Structure 1
Amino acid sequence: MSVSIPSTTRHQHPNTLAEKVSIQCADGVNLAAILCTSTQPHAALMLSGGTGFKKEFYLPMAHFLAEHGFATVVYDYRGTCESAPNDMRNCDYSYLDYGQQDMPAVLNFLDDRFPALPKLIFGHSVGGQKVGLMPNLHKVKGLVCYATSVGYLPYMPWSYRLKSYYFFYLFAPISIALWGYVAAKRFKIMEDLPGRIVKQWRAWCAQPDHYFDPKFYGKSVPRGSYAQMPFPIHVFWASDDPISNTRSVPGFWKHVKSEAGLSFQVLRPEDWNAKKIDHYGLFRVQFKDSLWREVLSALQRML
């Protein structure tokens, strides 16, 4: 099902068209998504966001990529934003569902809509992590990631580490006890999340190897395709990112093998005339003529 988005959005982006679409997963869960297209796309792109970010955060970049020939879909993971159920208290979605259900469904949607076009993935944070769990990676031609790493708290600087400890070990448990889910939006922390997802997130962030730790990997976490990813992977990360840094980025990617090559590119604010880039700054419109073009080039090289 798809409906056109209000015309004001088109006026802001005269060269692209945005459609609101509903994408059904194999288990029946519906995801709210927005597809941005131009008149003659030459590739289709799934832009998978970070945990607790709404799809609209990525919409400006999606329009930019659509203007340059990439039909781009952004979406809300199950249990968040417009993909959240009416009753969050009894929502028992798993964090693994992002990679096992949501991402495969969005990719299949693109394949159905654009069967003749090559498919690429651009993943932010968890949007790059969970790709290895997807069962339909044979449809993917390449993966570009930003700020994808382990989330091991001791790898973070103390200032951010304390915030993370507060969120995982104080705020989240109290919120779950009071409301049955992590009601983060009302406190302007992030979007609301199901309690089970945050509990899994916390458990993985307590280990240097994240869910690749032997207590999880191959047991509660499927092995997936991490040892044999069938396409090239390019990973961007910012030098001022407190989460994805010099220890946490290699901490994740040492567990991933690509048959077509795995490359890394560090983004330093001083090289881009910026005060900061951080864990999510790449998606700010201020970088449209600089960092966004770096991402565009990385995607184009994979075609």
Structure 2
Amino acid sequence: MPSNIAVKDICIVCKDDFPLAASLYTPSTPVKGAIMVGPATGIKRQFYSAFATYLTHQGFAVITFDNRGIGESCSKNVKTCEASLVSWGSQDMPAVLETLKSQFPNVPYFLMGHSAGGQLLGLMYNVHDLTAFCNFGSSSGSLRNMRKRYLLKAHFFMNFYIPLSNLIFGHTKSQWVGMGEPLPKKVARQWQKWCNGKGYVKTGFGSDIQQHYYNNIQLPSKWLLASDDDIANLHNVHDMISVFPNIKAEVEELEPRDHDVREIGHMRFFSRKCQHLWPKVTDYFIRYS
């Protein structure tokens, strides 16, 4: 690890006393701002280490974390974990932001959301402490807007594999089909329900979700997506943005061949092969630092 940044593993305790594994990246230079990296569904924080290191070299403090039930935040058998997408947004993400605020007071705070990490911010009671946010691949994930070539695969995973895996194993073995870490059953069940609806979290308003802040968010935001992303296509990104009626949103679609890469898709933006795209994030946050 480069000597001019410090990386430390920490434990974040949520309001309900659930412990989260996290990593704190601190620059040696004055901190321009502090960024929490919101992970995609079932993705461990180590996946974002190269990206977090880059952000830190640009003068930002960074926290990456494992949502409850994922990676090192799963201390028990995932089968018995009661985590849900709602608890990720209403318990885990606010606790991470509070830690960021306590570690780095009096600086602008940002969220870099990947997929679910950008979808769930409207469940954070302290969302208004953010200065701005940038998302990559965050969309409604609505099956109705999927491209035909991906639709069958999406329906199989959501509407056959998830219910069957939950029934047989008590959780979803996402790792068997290349969809990240094993998922707690409530996480997978809500994911299935919301992707079969419209507006992702909006499907849960009044049922899974009793309180939210989407209607009140007026933060500046940038929404990045890749043209070869079968999940977060342009229709689904705008479907997700519509859940934030007062949001200030910039949308930028990345074409892989325009940036000299074979593919970006839903995951590769955070790969070192796409590091020449990362200034799109830091340049945006610097505008509000």
TM-score interval, smaller chain:
over 0.9
Aligned mates of 1:141, 1:203 — CA distance in 2: 31
Q: Could you tell me which residue of structure 2 aligns to residue 225 of structure 1? A: 213
Aligned mates of 1:92, 1:253 — CA distance in 2: 29
- Give aligned-pair identity as a percent: 31
Q: Could you tell me which residue of structure 2 aligns to residue 54 of structure 1? A: 44
Deviations 1:62-81 (A, max 9, x none): 00000101101111101111
Task: Show structure 2 runs of 5+ residues with no match.
Answer: none
Match among 22, 32, 39 for residue 33 of structure 1: 22
In the superposition, relative to structure 1, how do residues 171 and 218 fare at CA in structure 2: closer, same or farther (>3 Å)? closer
Shift of 1:204: 0.7
Please identify runs of 4+ aligned residues in structure 1 that moved more than 3 A. 186-189
Aligned mates of 2:99, 2:190 — CA distance in 1: 28
Q: Could you tell me which residue of structure 1 aligns to residue 160 of structure 2? A: 170
Task: Show structure 1 runs of 5+ residues with no match.
Answer: 1-9
Q: Is the 8 A contact 2:120 2:201 kept in 1?
A: no
One-letter code aligned to 2:32: H
Shift of 1:212: 1.4
Q: Is the 8 A contact 1:233 1:258 kept in 2?
A: no
Shift of 1:116: 2.0
Q: Could you tell me which residue of structure 1 aligns to residue 198 of structure 2? A: 208
Q: Could you tell me which residue of structure 2 aligns to residue 106 of structure 1? A: 96
In the superposition, relative to structure 1, how do residues 17 and 25 fare at CA in structure 2: closer, same or farther (>3 Å)? same
SS at match of 1:127: helix
Residues 1:301 and 2:259 are matched in the alignment: no
Aligned mates of 1:267, 1:179 — CA distance in 2: 38
Residues 1:144 and 2:134 are matched in the alignment: yes
TM-score by length of 2: 0.94
Q: Is the 8 A contact 2:228 2:263 kept in 1?
A: yes
Shift of 1:187: 5.1
Q: Could you tell me which residue of structure 2 aligns to residue 4 of structure 1? A: none
One-letter code aligned to 1:301: R
SS at match of 2:107: coil
Residues 1:24 and 2:13 are matched in the alignment: yes
Q: Between 58-67 and 244-253, report the one with greater CA deviation.
A: 244-253
Deviations 1:228-261 (A, max 9, x none): 21421111111111111121111110121346x2
Shift of 1:186: 4.9
Q: Could you tell me which residue of structure 2 aligns to residue 275 of structure 1? A: 262
Q: Could you tell me which residue of structure 1 aligns to residue 253 of structure 2? A: 266
Deviations 1:125-181 (A, max 9, x none): 111111011001232111111111111112112332222222222322232223211
Q: Could you tell me which residue of structure 1 aligns to residue 83 of structure 2? A: 93
Residues 1:256 and 2:244 are matched in the alignment: yes
Residues 1:131 and 2:141 are matched in the alignment: no
Deviations 1:36-84 (A, max 9, x none): 1111222111011100111111110000000101101111101111111
Residues paired across the two proteins, number: 288
One-letter code aligned to 1:218: G
TM-score by length of 1: 0.90
Q: Is the 8 A contact 1:76 1:82 kept in 2?
A: yes
